[in-house]
Amino acid sequence: MSQLKKILILGAGYGGIVTAINLQKQLGFNEAEVTLVNINDYHYITTHLHAPAAGTFPHDKTRVKIDDLLDGNKVNFIQDAVTKIRPDDQLVELKNREEPLAYDYLVVGLGSAPATFGIEGLLENSMVIRNINSVRMIRTHIEYMFSRYRNEPDRDDLVTIVVGGAGFTGIEFVGELAYRMPELCKEYDIPREKARIINIEAAPTALPGFDKELVEYAMETLERRGVEFMIGTPIKACQEDGVVVGDDEEKIKAATVVWTGGVTGNPLVADAGFEVNRGRVQVDEYLRAPNYDNVFIVGDSSLIFNEETGRPFPPTAQMATQQGINLAKNLVTLVRDGGALTTFKYEPKGTVASLGKGEGIGVVGKKKLFGWQAAQMKKIIDLRYLYMIGGISLAMKKGQF
């Protein structure tokens, strides 16, 4: 029997893959038994997903084979779905394995699930920008609805797209859609003015919490490209043929509804019995789950409060990546029995949102970025990430130039 410590990583998203890659770099052969479990045999660049969803970027360029990132001699990869985490038994159950996997240290990086805020019919009748399969479906669904319009010209709903939520994901998606719309309408012989993109947000502003001047710039840019905003307008229900909005319960008929209004932790973490706050686990300074010193939660399923504002940090790839780097270092320390762990401190480097090709907004340090400058910065951030996980060749292969 191997006496090596078993590190089990669940999920190959930003948090999970960065932990695995850094462990692979820092651990010598036979220092620990590291296993990564992921539902697909690829890692996807979630921060790009709005583009393949709108059909402006090939979905294949947003994913990377896990085998291309990991050395099989150092990290054992299992493609399977996690079905249950049993922290009291130190076991994890998988869909296609009878024997559960045992661990000494567990890293949970299973990402998020859509937050529905109790909106009736939302999960059944809308699509979400969540993974490769979901964005491929959104793109082909929109194209199919547009292709039907010339055959059913009274059905304006076929060319009406409702996007619920004007946070970062919603704004990036409508930006990309607005950019593609002229070409899409041309392809299906639809007058541009017939096709509608309606972005609906319950909060009193788009991009809540973001700099006011940048929000105004984003909304003006997108309105110029034909996006209609309904801000301060809650979606009350989502139905097969559209959404019901506002206090007067107005019905908007739309054959495509995409929900981007927020995420909660992966339900597997609550099912495991970890204490959750709106579906996410409030981790300690070493990213540990309460009451379990050997369970670490990274990414969208974890919750960390910003001491300055008293509010949680939003779940981002930036947060998940920094957590993965810190955690790998601490796991190496634990495996080597090498003394004190390093406290995790999130260092926000800025935020940049794309508004469709060549347009964006952002804040980096104290500097505000608009338009082309922000769009370039977004590309640099993405390239930097690709370089970090897969070196120059991956950046060249999958980057947007």
- In the complex, which residues of this chain contact ligand FAD (CB under 6 A)? 11-16, 37-40, 46-47, 49-50, 81-82, 109-112, 129, 131, 168-169, 172, 266, 268, 299-300, 315-318, 320
Is 172 among the residues known to form the active site?
yes
Contact of 261 with 168, CB cutoff 8 Å: no
CA separation for the pair 39, 7 (Å, rounded): 18
Q: Give the shortest CB-31-to-ligand FAD separation in angstroms.
A: 24
Closest residue to ligand FAD in the complex (CB): 13
Give the DSSP H/E element, type plus range, for residue 230: strand 227-231
Q: Give the shortest CB-79-to-ligand FAD separation in angstroms.
A: 9
CA nearest 52: which of 394, 377, 398, 321? 398
DSSP 241: T
CA separation for the pair 177, 304 (Å, rounded): 33
Q: Give the shortest CB-331-to-ligand FAD separation in angstroms.
A: 16
**CB-nearer residue toward ligand FAD: 73 or 96:** 96
Q: Give the shortest CB-272-to-ligand FAD separation in angstroms.
A: 12
Contact of 129 with 56, CB cutoff 8 Å: no
**CB-nearer residue toward ligand FAD: 242 or 324:** 324
Go through the chain and tell me how many residues it has. Answer: 401
Question: Which residues share a beta bridge with 78?
Answer: 37
Give me the catalytic one of 33, 172, 176, 201: 172
**CB-nearer residue toward ligand FAD: 35 or 316:** 316
Gyration radius from the chain CA atoms: 22
E strand segments, 56-174: 63-65, 75-79, 82-86, 91-94, 101-102, 105-108, 112-114, 127-128, 160-164
CA nearest 367: which of 353, 349, 382? 349
Q: Give the shortest CB-241-to-ligand FAD separation in angstroms.
A: 26
Contact of 282 with 289, CB cutoff 8 Å: no
Residue 4's CB: how many other CB atoms inside 10 A? Answer: 13
Q: Give the shortest CB-59-to-ligand FAD separation in angstroms.
A: 12
**CB-nearer residue toward ligand FAD: 255 or 320:** 320
DSSP 149-210: HTTSTT-GGGGEEEEE--SHHHHHHHHHHHHHHHHHHHHTT--GGG-EEEEEESSSSSSTTS
CA separation for the pair 179, 12 (Å, rounded): 31
**CB-nearer residue toward ligand FAD: 119 or 263:** 263
Phi/psi at 360 (nearest 5 deg)? -170, 175
**CB-nearer residue toward ligand FAD: 172 or 201:** 172
Which residues are annotated as catalytic?
172
